[in-house]
Amino acid sequence: MQWVTTYAEKVVSASEAVSKIKSGNRVVIGSATSAPEYLIKAMIANKEQYENVEISNLVPLGKCEYAWEGMEKYFKYNGLFLSAGTREVVNSGRGDFTPAYFHEVPKYYIEYLPVDVCLVQVSKADQHGYFSLGGSVDYTKPAVDAAKLVIVQVNKYVPRTHGDSFIHVSDVDYIVEYDEPMPEYKSGAITEVEEAIGKNIASLIEDGDTLQLGIGTIPDATLTFMKGYKNLGLHSEMISDGVVDLIKQGVINNKVKSINRGKSLITFFMGTQKLYDFVNDNPGIEMRPVSYVNNPYIISQNDHMTAINSCLQVDMVGQVVSESIGTKQYSGVGGQVDYMRGANMSKGGKAIIAMPSTASKGKISRIVSVLDQGAIVTTNRNDVNYVVTEYGIAKLKGKTIRDRAKALIEIAHPDFRAQLEEEFYNRYKSSSKDINL
Ligand code: COA
């Protein structure tokens, strides 16, 4: 087997591998669970050798040491979707942020931010010399394909996932062998508020719908109401533990999907070992690049596409803020607009934004008259149809701006309704109560 010899020739130590990164290079790190933590540690240890190395990624987990204070001497950070480890570097001005629809990110790393070096962790090679990219195909596979230099960490804990998730030994430049458990992401316990939101969302879902769900307790709560459903499909940027039991029980069986029938189509996942064991060598889970999975035109080819996403703030005309708190960048657009648009274009599709009615332990209403100064509109008011809170569902499409405001005030937290009503009056010189929806 020729690949065995090729493999052996490419194996190096982590310090040798990262010595191939040169000052001024753009280093793209695999997303979420595909980030090779051992290689990143070696790159940090080698920092004195670098100047102006750009680190770019989306949804980084882990410590993100390259973004810590003092690292700007060696690394400049450029995120396209922030997480806990990269918010500070961007909002303090030591790093930067590039806005991009998730489905376009592969194009970014080829055309606008061309990748020099790609760092990624992969499964052990199979008998034919193919590694699987495991948890992330999204931009990670296109970045591997486009990079001038590809360094992989071969890790026996990375699951072997199916779809367009394979790269051959001949396609990588350096191999570093190091086993470490996959990072785990655990959702919190479902609160009463999230349970009520989940119940309201579930009332919009019908047998045979194809679902897109994000991560967190709202999707988890929604899924607990799906037990009696039949023939649900999955076409989702990502999945977490919540879907595993429903697939095992045959509730999600992808049998009546319009495209990719029989497959749960995703581009990345993160969860616990329960999920990682489930996706391992599972041909029912099909991973493809985000340029396909999140392309609104592809999404829209699923009839009854139901997209469920979350946000931080919604104003009275239905503008949705999901990625910033005022001027502070919190996350990114990710796949939110991809799915809202895809669902709106789908025959019988539903574009849903769901959120608790308040934030900061009930002190702040997420439904507001006017957005916070500097807030970034993630989903514009024409792209959202349903807004859901624990108090109900506001259906926006087809409604005038005054009707929208009334519907949104009705699902705001009762503590804030009088204030919102006053702001409605100041704006429209009439009471929302005079409108019959
Ligand atoms: N004003 C001030 N603070 C607010 C706020 C508001 N209007 N809304 C929320 N917050 C605070 C919360 O209190 C919380 O603070 P804490 O961590 O101190 O408790 C924090 O902001 C995060 O809010 P939360 O609602 O818990 O966010 P989340 O972790 O559930 O993530 C999004 C929600 C919207 C940020 C996330 O879903 C996202 O980034 N979406 C965009 C991308 C996307 O939708 N992709 C497609 C699906 S994968």
Q: What is the pLDDT of residue 435?
A: 78
What is residue 272's predicted lDDT score, i.e. its pLDDT? 97
What's residue 278's pLDDT?
98
pLDDT at 1: 81
- Residue 46: per-residue pLDDT: 98
- How long a stretch of residues is the chain? 437
> What is the C-alpha separation between 236 and 17, in angstroms, rounded?
35
Q: Token pair 């037990």 is at which residue?
A: 227
Structure tokens at 299: 């999404």
Does 353 contact ligand 1 (Cβ within 6 A)?
Answer: no
Chain CA centroid to CA 241, Å: 15
Cα–Cα distance for residue pair 54/115, rounded to 1 Å? 10
Q: State phi, psi for 235 to the nearest 5 degrees.
A: -140, 95
> CB of 384 closer than 6 A to ligand 1?
no
The pick from 338, 360, 389 for probing ligand 1's pocket by mutation, whose C-beta has the most ligand atoms within 8 angstroms, reads: 360
How far does residue 324's CA lie from ligand 1's centre (Å)?
Answer: 8
Going from the C-alpha of 108 to that of each of 57, 98, 112, 289, the distances in angstroms are: 11, 10, 5, 13
Residue with tokens 């050798």: 49
Per-residue pLDDT of the chain (437 residues; tens, 9 = 90+): 899 999 999 999 999 999 999 999 999 999 999 999 999 999 999 999 999 999 999 999 999 999 999 999 999 999 999 999 999 999 999 999 999 999 999 999 999 999 999 999 999 999 999 999 999 999 999 999 999 999 999 999 999 999 999 999 999 999 999 999 999 998 899 999 999 999 999 999 999 999 999 888 999 999 999 999 999 999 999 999 999 999 999 999 999 999 999 999 999 999 999 999 999 999 999 999 999 999 999 999 999 999 999 999 999 999 999 999 999 999 999 999 999 999 999 999 999 999 999 999 999 999 999 999 999 999 999 999 999 999 999 999 999 999 999 999 999 999 999 999 999 999 998 888 887 77
List, as one string, the DSSP characters of 249-280. TTSB--TT-SSSTT-EEEEEE---HHHHHHHT
Query: Using CA positions, which residue lies closest to atom 47 of ligand 1?
Result: 214
Confidence (pTM): 0.97
Q: Ligand 1 in contact with 366 (CB < 6 A)?
A: yes
Catalytic residue IDs: 237
pLDDT of residue 433: 83
